[in-house]
């Protein structure tokens, strides 16, 4: 920038100086030509007193230019026929030996011989330059030669043009200082950007801690670049984290699948082994007592029923896991669900020695699936009947907020040791495996309960009650006014 500036300043000064010299040269030429023309005009008038008029004019010129840049002006009038000087001021120079106005405009002191007013030879500076103009009268009798030493004062003078040049140079200096300060200011942003880029390339964590940018357009752009980079970095880190989490979920899912497959194989071996043992025994003993044979067949049927129940539970879990987002939900009255389950338990006798109670308000609407929710309550009830050892179980509403209703399924049994609580929802997990198999459980009841609640968008947890027994806390999505209005509109459309 400085080089460009001073190149421009130099070009301006050069052309201005060149133009100024041309104008001064032109002004000097005009002055001399005016003098020559005035003298020739006096001779061309054929006035008898023209010699006197010329001398008077020359004296005026000498007085007029005294103590000026033209103080050394020399004007000589020659008789062109004799070559003698008719009148003159300043040095006497030899008459030009040419015809017409063809003498060189410039010559050096070494090229001529000058004489003073007394006729003595004056040695001129051999390197001194003189400007020369020659003019003839109309009749060719007289010749006027005007010579001016071409001094630096005639080429240069401290006038407005020089003031202009000094102003340009001063402006160049001021602009140079400004450019220096500006580029320092600019370079700070660029250096900081370069530092940021190098640190970013090297994956350094120090790329913006000590970087300060100016409050201008470049500083704003630099800050936006760094902000954009950080946003992209955070977004990329978030994507990588999500990718890792997704991979972990997939790995956990496959690991769970493998574990479930292994557990299924293990769980199937026992009833199949028992069934095979009974059938082999019956087939190998043709004379077996009919009562004993019936007993073996009943045992085999029990194991077959267990296998069927297990396969049904596995099928249910797969449907819930794979289609949790496709489970059809609707607005249902949870009080009606609990009331229906209570009747089924009572009429079927599944409660045995236990009593089923509930404390759910009327018109307690939730968004869920009626059949799945009923099956979930039945599963919890069967589990309590089979393992709690209590006398009472039931469901009650615990709390509500803008999004969820929280319910509790509880019993007053013996509960489970605390170390088993985190594992109760795992596939085929049994607190007492021997007792569970005797009771006919598949080990999939609680996983089905958990997957059912998750498919509705809720959560479930389990804990031991202070008064004894287990308590399952689960949430169900609450129904808002917009859902009710939408449901009413759908019903009216169906009626129409």
Going from the N-terminus, what domains does the chain have, and what CATH number goes with each?
2-157 (3.30.450), 242-322 (1.10.287.130), 327-495 (3.30.565.10)
What integer pLDDT is reported at residue 2 of this predicted model? 84
Please give the mean pLDDT across all residues of the chain. Answer: 79
CA–CA dist 93, 27 (Å, integer): 23
Residues 93 and 133: their CA atoms lie apart, in Å, by 12
CB 144 within 8 A of CB 77: yes
139-143, 204-208, 360-364, 465-469: the lowest-pLDDT one? 204-208
For residue 384, is pLDDT > 80?
A: yes
What's the rounded mean pLDDT across residues 201-220? 67
The DSSP element (H or E) to which 148 belongs, if any, is strand 142-149
pLDDT of residue 412: 93
Higher pLDDT: 198 or 263? It is 198
Rounded Cα distance between 407 and 399, Å, is 7
Tell me what the mean pLDDT of segment 267-274 comes to: 72
Query: Is the pLDDT assigned to residue 155 strictly greater than 80?
Result: no
Chain CA centroid to CA 38, Å: 82
Greater pLDDT, 385 or 205:
385
Task: Supply the pLDDT for residue 470.
Answer: 93
Please give the structure tokens belonging to residue 174: 């001021």
331-348 pLDDT, tens digit per residue, is 999 999 999 999 988 888
Residue range 78-88: average pLDDT?
A: 81
Q: What is the pLDDT of residue 100?
A: 45
Give the global pTM.
0.45
Residue 166 has which token pair? 């000094």
Backbone phi, then psi, for 451, in 5-degree steps? -65, -35
Structure-token match 């509930």, residue found: 358
CA gap 376, 190 in Å, rounded? 66
List of long-range contacts for 85-94, beta carbons under 8 Å, 24+ apart? 86/51, 86/54, 86/142, 87/51, 87/54, 87/55, 87/58, 88/58, 89/58, 89/59, 89/61, 89/62, 90/62, 90/147, 91/115, 91/116, 91/122, 91/124, 91/147, 92/116, 92/117, 92/119, 93/145, 93/147
- Split at pLDDT 50, 70, 90, the class of 232 is confident
Report the distance separating Cα 271 and Cα 296, nearest Å.
13
* Pairwise pLDDT comparison (275 vs 416), residue with the higher score: 416
């Amino acid at each position: 920038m400085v080089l460009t500036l001073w190149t421009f300043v130099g070009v301006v000064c050069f052309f201005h100086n060149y133009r100024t010299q041309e104008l001064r040269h032109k002004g000097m030429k005009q002055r001399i030509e005016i003098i020559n023309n005035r003298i020739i005009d006096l001779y061309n008038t054929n006035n008898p007193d023209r010699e006197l008029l010329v001398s008077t004019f020359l004296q005026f010129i000498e007085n007029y230019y005294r103590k000026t840049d033209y103080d050394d002006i020399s004007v000589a009038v020659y008789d062109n026929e004799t070559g003698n000087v008719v009148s003159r001021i300043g040095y006497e120079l030899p008459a030009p030996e040419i015809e017409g106005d063809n003498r060189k405009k410039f010559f050096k002191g070494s090229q001529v011989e000058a004489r003073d007013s007394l006729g003595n030879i004056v040695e001129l500076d051999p390197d001194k330059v003189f400007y020369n103009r020659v003019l003839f009268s109309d009749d060719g009798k007289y010749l006027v030669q005007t010579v001016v030493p071409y001094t630096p004062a005639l080429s240069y003078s401290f006038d407005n043009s020089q003031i202009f040049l000094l102003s340009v140079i001063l402006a160049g200096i001021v602009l140079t200082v400004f450019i220096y300060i500006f580029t320092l200011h600019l370079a700070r942003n660029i250096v900081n950007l370069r530092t940021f880029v190098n640190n970013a390339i090297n994956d350094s964590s120090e790329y913006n801690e000590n970087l300060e940018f100016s409050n201008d357009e470049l500083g704003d752009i630099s800050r936006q670049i760094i902000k954009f980079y950080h946003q992209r970095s955070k977004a990329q880190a978030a994507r990588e984290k999500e990718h890792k989490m997704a991979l972990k979920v997939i790995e956990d899912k496959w690991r769970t699948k493998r574990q479930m497959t292994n557990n299924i194989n293990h769980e199937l071996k026992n009833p199949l082994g028992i069934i095979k043992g009974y059938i082999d025994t019956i087939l190998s003993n043709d004379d077996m007592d009919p009562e004993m044979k019936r007993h073996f067949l009943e045992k085999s049927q029990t194991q077959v029923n267990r296998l069927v129940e297990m396969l049904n539970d596995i099928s249910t879990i797969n449907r819930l896991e794979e289609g949790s987002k496709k489970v059809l939900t609707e607005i249902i009255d949870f009080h009606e669900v609990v009331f229906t389950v209570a009747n089924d338990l009572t009429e079927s006798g599944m409660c045995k020695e236990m009593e089923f109670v509930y404390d759910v308000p009327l018109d307690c609407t939730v968004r869920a699936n009626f059949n799945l929710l009923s099956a979930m309550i039945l599963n919890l009830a069967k589990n309590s009947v089979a393992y709690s050892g209590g006398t009472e179980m039931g469901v009650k509403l615990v709390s509500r907020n803008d999004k969820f209703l929280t319910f509790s399924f509880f019993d007053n049994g013996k509960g489970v040791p605390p170390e088993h609580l985190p594992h109760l929802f795992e596939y085929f997990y049994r607190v007492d495996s021997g007792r569970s198999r005797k009771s006919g459980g598949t080990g999939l009841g609680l996983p089905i309960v958990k997957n059912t609640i998750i498919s509705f968008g809720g959560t479930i947890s389990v804990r031991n009650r202070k008064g004894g027994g287990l308590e399952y806390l689960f949430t169900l999505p609450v129904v808002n006014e917009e859902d009710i209005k939408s449901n009413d509109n759908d019903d009216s459309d169906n009626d129409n």
